[in-house]
Structure 1
Amino acid sequence: MKSKIVVTGIGLIPPYGQGIDPMIKAISEASISPGEIDYINAHGTGTPMNDPAESQAILKLFKNRGSFIPVSSTKSMTGHLIAASGAVEAVVCVQSILKEMIHPTRNLSNPDPACNLGHVTQSPMKHIIRNALSNSLGFAGINSTLLFSKSL
């Protein structure tokens, strides 16, 4: 497993495309390419400011593939657990890898057009996951990404 935290605190309003730096660094430190990411557990708060910013970071990093990588948000089922969110979402990523199953983003029927990602909705998705990212994007631009890899 690899993890990276990048502190980019610049105020309470997140920058457009927030979260790209920790994703880039986690992938780089794991010595894999962006093309090897099979699932993203998004920070996904369901807010009109945060979700488009995170989505733009994903689309910028993964380019055309960003719309096809399965993405879901655990917060749609748990609510925002504040300081515990990252830990719970890390467990969800590990379980997704082990069970080869991605949970859906509950209650997502009309995604924001600015969030043109590979949303998993309605029901769980069977999917082999070798590498998964879990984003945690905090107040004041304190962002982190965990990368989990399946052992062979």
Structure 2
Amino acid sequence: MSAITDIEIDQLPYRKGVGIVLLNGHDLVFVAQRLDSPEPAWQMPQGGIDKGEEPIAAAWRELYEETGVKSAVLIAETPDWLRYDLPRELVPHIWKGRYRGQKQKWFAFRFTGTDAEININGEHPEFSEWRWADFKKTPDLIVAFKRPLYEQVVSAFGHLVG
């Protein structure tokens, strides 16, 4: 792919997606290590919205695809879309260079099942391992360019945990 200028990047749209905060009964959140990252890159489930799909439907689909979880109840959603920009050097390589980053609607779910239900080895696995973590510390676990987004998510849903 030919070089892309900063002006061209600034004109690119954001990819629409969803993010999922899955809280267990101990107010810990599901995080998983990305398969495609050689360094620590723990994140909460997230993914794109398919054409014609409502954000909440995408959230349920992504939750199941990435974690195997069906035993959950929706407890909150962000009123607004939250955004992150990709580092400029990654733009040509992610999503075929069509997007500058993502705008995401975030949903919080309460997990009502047991850990045995969790399966990160689905049809298209994205994670190598998973664990329960302190929700308010998730910005410290994510790749640096998504940290401001995760800080917004913690601010939006922080009232849900003790």
TM bucket (normalised to shorter chain) is under 0.3
Higher RCO structure (Cα 8 Å, ≥6 apart): 1
Which structure dedicates a bigger proportion of its chain to helix? 1
TM-score calculated relative to the size of structure 1: 0.26
